[in-house]
Amino acid sequence: MGETFLIFGARNSQQDFFFRDEWHSLQHDQDTSLNPFKLITAFSRDQEQKIYVQDRIREYRAHIARLVLEGRATFVVCGSSGSMPKAVRQALIDVLADIDDRGNVEGAAVMGIEGAEKYVDQMQKEGRYLQETW
């Protein structure tokens, strides 16, 4: 297994940060050269400006694009079946659409929206884009 990049989203950190200790332990008590684990949080109610998982995807777009395109990462979406899964999928598509031919997130987009949608569809067919929502 390679790098794990977890974006954990919930309403607030005090009531909804499930497995907080376990996530922090994984992040800080590891041999990062073997299986790096990175935890990013997105708590929508802890501050005035709401932060969602899709915002973090866009914020970490270069890293996520590298993992997905070069590392052939598996992208897993879990949580509420409301608008979140669609918003997260669109954020990934937006990130991939903006990648240029050198893998940079700035500059001319090569993949474009249509290409990114096809890429994510292919990820789903290959079992690299998984969704478990309820």
Whether residues 65 and 131 fall in one domain:
yes
Q: Sort residue 26 into left (φ over 0), alpha (ψ -120 to 50) or beta.
A: alpha
Distance CA 108, CA 91 (A): 18
The total of structural domains in the chain comes to 2
Whether residues 36 and 14 fall in one domain:
yes
Q: Is residue 56 part of a domain?
A: no
Give DSSP secondary structure letters for 13-57.
HHHH-TTHHHHHHHHHSS-TTTS-EEEEEEESSSSSS---HHHHH
Please determine, for residue 125, whether its predicted confidence score (pLDDT) is greater than 80.
Answer: yes
Distance CA 9, CA 79 (A): 9
In this predicted structure, which of 30-34, 64-68, 70-74, 81-85 has the lowest mean pLDDT? 30-34
Give the pTM: 0.86
Range of the domain at 129: 61-134
pLDDT, the chain, mean: 88
Q: What is the mean pLDDT of the segment spanning 13-27?
A: 88
Whether residues 47 and 65 fall in one domain:
no
Q: What's the confidence (pLDDT) of residue 109?
A: 65
In this predicted structure, which of 7-11, 23-27, 30-34 has the lowest mean pLDDT? 30-34
